[in-house]
Amino acid sequence: KPLPDFSKLAFGENFTDHMLAIPWNNVSGWGTPKIVPYGPLAVDPSSSVLHYAQTLFEGMKAYRDENGRVMLFRPDMNMKRMNTSATRLALPTFNGDELLALIKELLKVDKHWVPQEPGHSLYIRPTLIGTQRALGVSPPKEALLFVICGPVGPYYSDGFKPVSLHGTTEFIRAAPGGTGGYKLGANYGPAVMPQKMANKQGYTQNLWLHGPDHCLTEVGTMNMFVAFKRGETTTLVTPPLDGMILPGVVRDSVLTLARDHASGKRSVPGLPSNLVVEERNVTMAEVKSASQKGELVELFGTGTAAVISPVDRIGYLGEDINIPVGEDGMGPLSRPFWERLMGIQKGQIKSDWTVVVCE
């Protein structure tokens, strides 16, 4: 089909010509992978995915460098996380290297869909669903793994726009021992109504809080970082992977860049020299106190879609806590992280995080 106008792309509304499909059953295991025309799936009305939310997915992107090469960013982490999610749902696991090889073949077929324009990419959505044709809550005897792709434009097409957050105390995203640390479809649907409520109150996203101390967990569908300035030291904090936090690929990348910079292993231009990195719980009381004392440097989210998403205010218990942002909408840490990550993803900075698909 004709390519869409890449200057007018809306996220998740355009898809490439082909998709990858791999069936599975508990007798013969994984079937023959096929690259087929993009189109509707035929699933039985009794399929377990429709009744018991036996579905999980991943989100990753393919980029073009200035020479036209198609590249992936840390796809091994997506394969590992997808297998972890499959285990949690009692769906079949797979060989991550083999699935990645198949995804590369799909990208080669539809490589003309990978945009060259700055800030654009091809979003890749591997998905695994239970397709057992019978009612009953149990591990499915049949499943389908499929991969669809679609071109997307820059998350901030008109420059960075900091988001506002509603410190959500009425609902929780996840709980200890639950499924918050897995990329399951069931984690996302229940968040739509709280987001609508946040929008009605004038906020862009939910800031998911947990426990009596209102610990910060995630920003909408993103991981969360907050920076404090105390004396000559800047401290970058993100909640630990305690089972409630999704182990994001960009989250891990920011932590790695920050720790390498702090240790002197590999500096990131623009980051403060006296940087401390911590994975620990951070409460709204700490954020509010830091704001009042002038010690709050910035707060931002990280994820595949936006990469870095700065925050400018949090509505919390009836009042707004303002978060510093620069004139360009970013902060003193978020901008260096974003520049370094975009440089790696676009192939401008050499890194073993980049995997070349084709020339």
DSSP assignment string, 124-180: EEEEEEE--BS-SSS--SEEEEEEEEEEE--SSBTB---EEEEEE-S--S--TTSST
pLDDT for 135 equals 93
> Where would I find the beta strands (DSSP E) of 158-274?
163-168, 205-210, 215-219, 222-230, 233-238
Question: CA-CA distances (angstroms) from residue 123 to 148, 151, 241, 257?
Answer: 9, 6, 25, 24
pLDDT for 327 equals 86
pLDDT for 32 equals 98
Radius of gyration of the chain (CA): 21
AA letter at 351: S
How many other C-beta atoms lie within 10 A of the C-beta of residue 212? 6
- Residue found by looking up tokens 């218990």 in the block: 317
- pLDDT < 50 positions in the chain: none
CA-closest candidate to residue 173, choices 278, 253, 78, 243: 243
Q: pLDDT by residue (tens digit) across 300-355?
A: 999 998 899 999 999 999 999 999 998 888 999 999 999 999 999 999 999 999 99
How many other C-beta atoms lie within 10 A of the C-beta of residue 40? 5
Task: Tell me 8's DSSP state.
Answer: G
| Pairwise CA distance, residues 88 & 68, whole Å | 39
Cβ atoms of 84 and 169 within 8 Å: the answer is no
User: What is the maximal distance between C-alpha atoms in the chain?
Assistant: 63
pLDDT for 155 equals 74
Spell out the residues 6+ positions from residue 116 whose beta carbon is closer than 8 angstroms to its own: 64, 68
pLDDT for 240 equals 97
Task: Tell me 2's DSSP state.
Answer: P
- Which helix (H) or strand (E) is 292 found in, with range? helix 284-293
pLDDT for 117 equals 87
pLDDT for 157 equals 59
pLDDT for 305 equals 87
At 6, give phi and psi (nearest 5°).
Answer: -65, -20
